Amino acid sequence: MERKTLTAAAVLGLLAVGLAMPVEAKTEINLWYGLKGYLGKQVMKVCERFNAAQDEYEIVCTGKGNYDQALQAGIAAYRAKKHPHILQGVETATATLMLSGAIYPAHQLMADAGYDVDWSDYIGSIMSYYASSDGKLYSFPFNSSTPVMYYNIDMYEKAGISGPAETWEQFEENLRTLKASGVACPIAFSTYLWVHLEQFSYMHGEPISTRNNGFDGLDAELVFNQTSYVKHVERLKRWYDEKLGSYAKELFGVGTRESFATGKCGHYFGSIASHGTVLKSAKMKWNVAPLPHNEGVTPNNTVVGGASFWIMKGFDEADYKGVAAFFDFIRSVESQEFWSTVTGYVPTTRSGYDALVAKGFYKQEQYAGREVAIESLARTPPTPLSRGLRLGYFRQIKKIIGDELEQMLAGKKTAQEALDNAVKRGNEQLRRFEKQYQGQSLP
């Protein structure tokens, strides 16, 4: 009797231990991102939505400051073998990441994980920026945007301007008309290279560098001092000299976007991702329009900005199954609708955009105008000169160009002199990059 009791107790004890055993742990996936503030919080919501949608994987998303800080942290961590599975990389770091040796190409990941992806669904000018020369996607577009022109309708109506200008020539006349009507700040502006160099060149089919803007080889050389960009820079200098607006560095800590959103200035050029931010602040009637182009030009598409998600090497197959599942989740129509709604960034696929159109998304007052960005991105199929650029150290090069243009605005150099020197100094950066990756080729 006693023995039977002990046996029963032992069985009960084993059952209790079994009941206390934890359920199978989820596979943990780590993602580092470079967005702060409101946008950083929305990235966290994307991660929370993925974790709630399935019970096999747990994605842990960590903010690493801004884009540059996230990139530096990711590279340092890779060298120390303490890197994340996914790293958010700004679009201008594409060449560096492609050549880093640390990347597991997106198209290969999805094929290895058994996903049949319709890559043609991605909007052409978005995909081409992050794709190899033969059109295979190397990273997943995430926070994608393009610049547009924001304009103050109330100021237009007071000045008798019927609508936004399609050409730069008419835009400059509109600035003068606004000034004559009593508007103190027709535009809050800067030499903003994403708009005034990059998009200007793409839209006009003019090279920023040789070798099809670097796509065809690391031996590319800058040539923007030989295109109509020179005349465009002279135009910006004219606005500055004639006080047709307020220059960014003279806004005393208030950015160009804020100067527009608070009704102080009549225009600003900025990302469509700022649409929601302007909406929260603006007390006037306003809208957005495509970037202007030169008279006599049929413009090409604009090009994507923002960042994408890069997959880092060094993990096992089970982990990469989770990474692929996350990317399958964020490319879904439902995920793109969520992201576009809460941020202002554009859908990355045609199916995502079509779903928003079908729902009447762009007819809602708070979202009206955001379709302009998609229309600009998809205006034409990308050409060799309108698919973006693939230049090393381009963030450093942009800093050089900006410094030279400041010299021009200060009257110390002509536009041509400033751009000639920017090209000379920028080419030195390109040669450093070429030397660093000597013997390698861009995919």
Beta bridge partners, 59, equal 29
| CATH of residue 169 | 3.40.190.10
Report how far apart the first and last C-alpha atoms of the chain are (Å, whole number): 78
* Contact (CB, 8 A) for 347 and 340: yes
CA–CA separation, 433 and 443 (whole Å): 16
CA–CA separation, 92 and 158 (whole Å): 40
The count of structural domains within the chain is 2
Separation in Å, CA 58 to CA 27, 50, 114, 328, 411: 6, 8, 20, 15, 56
**pLDDT of 220:** 98
Torsion of CA 8, 12, 13, 14, to 10 degrees: 100
Judgement on whether residues 242 and 275 belong to the same structural domain of the protein = yes
The structure tokens listed for 197 are: 């160099």
**pLDDT of 344:** 87
The structure tokens listed for 347 are: 């859908």
Q: What is the mean pLDDT of each run of 10 residues along the chain (443 residues)?
A: 46 50 80 94 97 97 96 95 97 93 97 96 93 93 96 98 97 98 95 96 98 96 98 97 86 77 95 91 95 98 96 97 97 94 92 95 92 95 95 95 96 98 98 94 91
3-state secondary structure at position 380: coil
Judgement on whether residues 405 and 296 belong to the same structural domain of the protein = yes
* 131 falls within a domain: yes
Which domain does 287 fall in, by range?
Answer: 147-301+392-436
CA–CA separation, 291 and 201 (whole Å): 12
* 210 falls within a domain: yes
Dihedral sign (CA 403, 40, 329, 323) = positive
CA–CA separation, 306 and 163 (whole Å): 29
**CB atoms inside a 10 Å sphere around CB 217:** 13
Judgement on whether residues 333 and 430 belong to the same structural domain of the protein = no
Helix (H), strand (E), coil (C) string for 106-173: HHHHHHHCCCCCCHHHECHHHHHHHECCCCCECCEEEEEECEEEEEEHHHHHHHCCCCCCCEHHHHHH
The structure tokens listed for 290 are: 């495509």
Q: How, if at all, do strands 188-189 and 246-247 pair? A: parallel
CA–CA separation, 75 and 84 (whole Å): 10
* 246 falls within a domain: yes
Judgement on whether residues 123 and 155 belong to the same structural domain of the protein = no
**pLDDT of 253:** 55
Judgement on whether residues 86 and 175 belong to the same structural domain of the protein = no
Judgement on whether residues 188 and 288 belong to the same structural domain of the protein = yes
Judgement on whether residues 172 and 161 belong to the same structural domain of the protein = yes
**pLDDT of 19:** 53
* 260 falls within a domain: yes
**pLDDT of 82:** 97
Judgement on whether residues 289 and 400 belong to the same structural domain of the protein = yes
* Contact (CB, 8 A) for 225 and 419: yes
* 49 falls within a domain: yes
**pLDDT of 326:** 98
**pLDDT of 3:** 40
CA–CA separation, 186 and 155 (whole Å): 9
Q: How, if at all, do strands 286-289 and 140-145 pair? A: unpaired
